[in-house]
């Protein structure tokens, strides 16, 4: 019997762990869950048939999944679990982490005979609930092949390169989300000041070359409606864009647009609040233009 452990039952982790539990039941495996707030793990166990565990217990699993806010939190749990880890295990980190942290964490775990895969996900809470997340994986290809059957929350799994590559792709992907969201917000604020009907403007943009996920989905559903449902925190988007800036500097690249938008997202985080939905970043654009986007 294979033991699987999932650490971090937040907005993404909770449904991801639920899919893992379904997979475990179907294949005769055991699924453990841990959360910093123990009551959440207990509730997940009651709802999905998982087993709430301590970090020491979770450390004995064959495959350990983490889905935490940043690499710093992964370091915290890793340090507590290290004395109990089992050689031959695989650690799959679905956190939107930092490539530099992945390199260090992989080396530390390798010294104990544990393989590390950085495997952040994309698809949002809806994708997590549907089990259709895209997983971008950095690390050993053979280790991914062995872990792949347990990625029960995935609709698409792509091996993108060596250790840290998964985190790098995720950071750039989310930076591009920030760029398109911010640029579309600026354009709509300008059009609003010009007296244009923004719903009509989006109809045109979404049938033209300026369309994006921001224009087709995020802004119509979250901004024009003024709902801003908190599914992906603004502070986390700003963090990811910052990682993309770090990556650019680390490879001595040049990405001035990403750097500028990362700074603007950080400003929006301070002005609007880090826990607000990422689309609420456009409230800063509204303030800059004295124009509501609706």
Instruction: List the domains of the chain with CATH numbers.
Output: 3-162 (3.40.50.720), 168-289 (1.10.1040.10)
Cα 66 from Cα 54, distance rounded (Å) = 14
Bridging pattern class, strands 30-34 and 90-93:
unpaired
Residue 29 has a pLDDT of: 98
H or E element at residue 133: strand 133-138
Q: Which residues does the chain have with pLDDT short of 70? A: none
What pLDDT sits at residue 12? 97
- pLDDT value, residue 156: 98
Count of all residues that appear for the chain in the document? 294
Please give the pLDDT value at position 290: 98
Strands 121-122 and 133-138: antiparallel
Whether the model clears a pTM of 0.85, i.e. scores above it, the answer is: yes
Report CA-CA distances (Å) from 119 to 8, 148, 195, 205, 277: 14, 11, 45, 34, 23
**Residue among 40, 170, 239, 283 flagged as catalytic:** 170
Distance of CA 94 to the CA centre of its chain: 7
Cα–Cα distance for residue pair 48/35, rounded to 1 Å: 15
CB 96 within 8 A of CB 120: yes
Q: Given this model, what pLDDT does residue 118 score?
A: 98
Give yes or no: 170 in active site: yes
């Amino acid at each position: 019997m294979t033991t699987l452990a999932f650490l971090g039952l937040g907005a993404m982790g909770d449904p991801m762990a639920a899919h893992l539990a379904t997979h475990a039941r179907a294949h005769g495996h055991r699924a453990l869950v841990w959360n910093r707030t123990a009551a959440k793990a207990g509730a997940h166990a009651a709802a999905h048939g998982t087993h709430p565990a301590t970090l020491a217990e979770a450390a004995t699993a064959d495959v350990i999944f983490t889905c935490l806010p940043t690499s710093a939190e992964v370091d915290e749990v890793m340090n507590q679990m290290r004395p109990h880890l089992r050689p031959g295990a695989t650690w799959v980190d679905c956190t939107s982490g930092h490539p530099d942290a992945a390199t260090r964490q992989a080396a530390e775990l390798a010294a104990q005979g544990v393989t590390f895969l950085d495997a952040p996900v994309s698809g949002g809470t809806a994708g997590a609930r549907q089990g259709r997340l895209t997983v971008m994986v950095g690390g050993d290809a053979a280790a991914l092949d062995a872990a792949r059957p347990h990625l029960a929350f995935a609709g698409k799994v792509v091996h993108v390169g060596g250790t840290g590559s998964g985190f790098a792709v995720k950071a750039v992907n989310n930076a591009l989300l920030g760029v398109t969201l911010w640029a579309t917000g600026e354009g709509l604020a300008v059009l609003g000041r010009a007296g244009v009907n923004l719903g009509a403007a989006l109809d045109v943009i979404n049938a033209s070359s300026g369309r994006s996920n921001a224009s087709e989905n995020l802004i119509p559903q979250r901004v024009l409606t003024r709902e801003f449902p908190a599914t992906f925190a603004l502070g986390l988007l700003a963090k990811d864009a910052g990682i993309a800036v770090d990556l650019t500097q680390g490879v001595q690249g040049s990405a001035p647009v990403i750097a500028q938008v990362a700074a603007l997202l950080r400003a929006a985080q301070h002005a609007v609040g880090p826990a607000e939905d990422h689309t609420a970043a456009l409230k800063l654009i509204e303030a800059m233009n004295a124009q509501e986007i609706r």
